[in-house]
Amino acid sequence: MRVAAVQLTAGPDRFENLCVANDLVWQAYEEDAELIVLPELFGVMGDRATFLANAEPLDGPTVQWAREQTSSHGVWLLAGSFVEDLGDGRLANTSCLVSPKGELAAVYRKIHLFDVTVPGAELHESATFTAGDEIVTANITSLAGEVVTVGMSTCYDVRFPELSRILALRGARIVVVPAAFTAATGPAHWEVLLRARAIENQCYVVAAGQTGESDPKRRWHGHSMIIDPWGRVLADAGTEPGVIVVDADLPEIERVRAVLPSLANRRPDAYRWPSATGAAPIPDTAPTPDSEGRPTP
């Protein structure tokens, strides 16, 4: 299956952002991509006021745009995420998987919200968004007729291996990671985390990120990546807007799992969460980071 990750820089103007995304989706389509992944909040990026002003329902302009893209091009599109209006003043950071027929195949609301203060980045997503609580997989069909299970996640989710492991155990062979990973944490963490998720779950990871600056307070790492089940980076978009496209060799998943059967060798009967064993709990308050963003006692 030929997969693509789109990299761009979104701002507060939805129309302008969708025009840019339109051109990049077209480029991926021209390169014969079957599954195209867009970044987190690709339609609108900004502060809380911007998100509130641009919140929309599932049948709003962003999803409608995504449906038009897929029905025109005959591709699967992961509409990275947009600001969904849940009603009652609540918003969600929501990703939609849209089929080649323009149908809504799956909806995922970001579970782990980015509430972090490190030098160069201070974001408190929970002040704006309501966390999702449903883990989502969906089946897509390649041009060759093979059914492939896709696991959905968003940005900060990549730091929580429990989520991607459950996706893999539910059959995910491709995990998508639309993201707006900060320039402050990206150099040290982005590639390492993505490769770890691919290696430990022996699946493909398609990570589409934002790049550049949306505004002086929102600087992004870029480096959208496609990674294979052995943990090899097959494509890296660097720091410029653009598209990366790779042929995902799906039988490679079975070959890797046969050679190194770590998923088959799991021992769930021996696993105990710390609360069940009397271990000391992790404190609710995170330690203050030092000048390089590392936690201090």
Residue 108 maps to which CATH number?
3.60.110.10
Q: What is the reported pLDDT for 293?
A: 43
Tell me whether residue 268 is in a domain.
Answer: no
Angle at 188 between CA 239 and CA 274, to 5 degrees: 135
Strand partners, 233: 227
Q: Which domain holds residue 152?
A: 2-252
Q: What is the reported pLDDT for 294?
A: 41
Report mean pLDDT in 10-residue bins for the chain, 297 residues.
98 97 98 98 95 96 97 96 95 98 97 84 86 98 94 98 97 98 95 98 98 90 98 98 97 96 95 68 52 41
Q: Annotated catalytic residue: which of 96, 110, 125, 203? A: 110
Q: Give strand ranges (E) for the chain.
A: 2-7, 35-37, 76-87, 90-98, 104-109, 115-118, 121-124, 137-141, 147-152, 174-179, 204-209, 211-215, 218-221, 225-227, 233-236, 242-247
Q: Annotated catalytic residue: which of 34, 40, 84, 125? A: 40
Tell me whether residue 267 is in a domain.
Answer: no
Q: Residue 257 in contact with residue 263, Cβ under 8 Å?
A: yes
Tell me whether residue 260 is in a domain.
Answer: no
* 155 has catalytic annotation: yes
Q: Which residue reads 């896709």 in tokens?
A: 150
Q: How far is the C-alpha of 193 from the C-alpha of 158, rounded, in Å?
A: 7
Q: Which amino acid is at 128?
A: T
Angle at 133 between CA 129 and CA 134, to 5 degrees: 125
Strand order in the sheet with 225-227: 137-141, 147-152, 174-179, 204-209, 225-227, 233-236
Tell me whether residue 236 is in a domain.
Answer: yes
Tell me whether residue 93 is in a domain.
Answer: yes
Q: Which amino acid is at 38?
A: L
**Count: domains in the chain:** 1
* 31 has catalytic annotation: no
Tell me whether residue 207 is in a domain.
Answer: yes
Tell me whether residue 165 is in a domain.
Answer: yes
- Among residues 57, 34, 15, 4, the alpha carbon closest in space to that of 243 is found at 4
Q: What is the reported pLDDT for 276?
A: 52
Q: What is the reported pLDDT for 295?
A: 41
Tell me whether residue 188 is in a domain.
Answer: yes
Q: Residue 79 in contact with residue 52, Cβ under 8 Å?
A: no
* 40 has catalytic annotation: yes
Q: Cα separations (Å) of 3 from 35, 151, 178, 204, 248? A: 5, 14, 13, 10, 7
Q: How far is the C-alpha of 245 from the C-alpha of 222, rounded, in Å?
A: 16
